[in-house]
Amino acid sequence: MSRIPPWLFRKASRRSANIAALLPACRDLQSAMNEFRWLKEHVNSTASASKENLLYRLCRKRGQGYPLQYILGSQPFGPLDVKCRPGVLIPRPETEAYTYHLADLIKAGNLKTGEPGQRLGIVDFCTGTGCIPLLLYSLLYRKFEHLEVVGVDISTQAVSLSRDNIVHNVKLGHLPQPGTNRTLNILQQDIFQDEVIEKLQGRTWDVMISNPPYISRQVWYRGGGQIGHSVRKYEPSLALVPGNDISIPANWEHEDVFYSRLLNIAYNLKPKVILLEVGDEMQALRVISRLSQHKLSTNSHVEVWRDWPDLASSHDEESPLEITMDDGSSRLVSTKGSGNIRSIFIKLDV
């Protein structure tokens, strides 16, 4: 990361010492001014006896890289106000983008997942704050007479927070009240235990989605890739890095182990659509290559979505990905949208 030039600090200091304190995290003056405004609004909403001192402390805390969402306590996610707390991964705009795109495809009937006005089942693994299942529920609620959306996470903190987010957003009027025919639930389960399959089997799951831990131990401990210092310092490794106690199947990398398990779960639950967030292009290539050897690969259509799947691709982004198979052959997989490689979309004929 490049150093901030002294003239920029001087320019920020002329406006406010607090704005200058935010620069190391914000990197530019406009972003620092925006965050200062949000922090000031947050402080003014508190019952603090010394709002000026509190604002001073929070600006310096934020300037040291502490996530803004943990300070403010929430993050906008579509129409939702998603509560954020230390120990649970902060929702990202790229995750919001592919969730919206998936919902648009479902509503348009392009995926043949459920019929408008009838029944749709969605399960989200490694749900964190619950941002994905809550957003899908809010976007699809009026389209289906019977809607079942379930989020699954191993973390007690994440499950508690995601359930709080349901109550919070219903109270704000951002989320329709779940009822008998339209349900929204969060389960605490370890996806590496077969109990999670037993709990979910017997129901129709049209869509399976997941933003699992996918960062390698080397990147987490040494830095690099798309992960920043602030993420490694303040956000939970449980949500980002597969645990050391998870056994690694043959031909899989440690950072890809969740995808191996998710493909096995999908084989049992038989969704029509699978959407998996990945860390980068190389990981997408590895997972698709392993998918080609999996029982799910029969009659499957695969494409890769970029950060913003609903935007037109630039000339450099239009080329398909070339996947090298174990037998030395290659396969071309189309890409969709603009930005970095972000997720793998799998449509199954089941």
What digits encode the pLDDT tens for the residues 95-110? 999 999 999 999 998 7
Residues 6+ positions from 47 with CB-CB distance below 8 Å: none
Given pLDDT bands bounded at 50, 70 and 90, which one contains residue 224?
confident
Q: What distance in Å separates the CA atoms of residue 264 and residue 270, rounded to the nearest whole number?
A: 10
Burial class, 14, CB count within 10 angstroms (exposed 0-12 / middle 13-18 / buried 19+): exposed
Tokens of 232: 């490694």
What pLDDT, on the 0 to 100 scale, is given for residue 114?
63
CB 255 within 8 A of CB 214: yes
pLDDT (average), residues 157-161 = 98
What pLDDT, on the 0 to 100 scale, is given for residue 115?
61
pTM: 0.95
Q: What distance in Å separates the CA atoms of residue 24 and residue 4, rounded to the nearest whole number?
A: 7
Of 99, 113, 76, the residue nearest 276 (C-alpha)? 99
Other CB atoms closer than 10 Å to residue 176's CB: what's the count?
A: 15
Per-residue pLDDT for 54 more than 80? yes
Tokens of 199: 């709990």
CA distances from 263 to 133, 186, 260 (A): 19, 21, 5
Tokens of 261: 């398990």
What pLDDT, on the 0 to 100 scale, is given for residue 110?
79
Per-residue pLDDT for 254 more than 90? yes
Of 177, 162, 83, the residue nearest 128 (C-alpha)? 162
State the chain's mean pLDDT as an integer. Answer: 94
Of 175, 72, 189, 92, the residue nearest 133 (C-alpha)? 175
CB 272 within 8 A of CB 301: no
Instruction: Give one word for 314, left, alpha or beta, with left for phi > 0 and alpha for psi -120 to 50.
Output: beta
Domains of the chain: 6-66 (no CATH), 93-348 (3.40.50.150)
Q: Amino acid letter at 49?
A: A
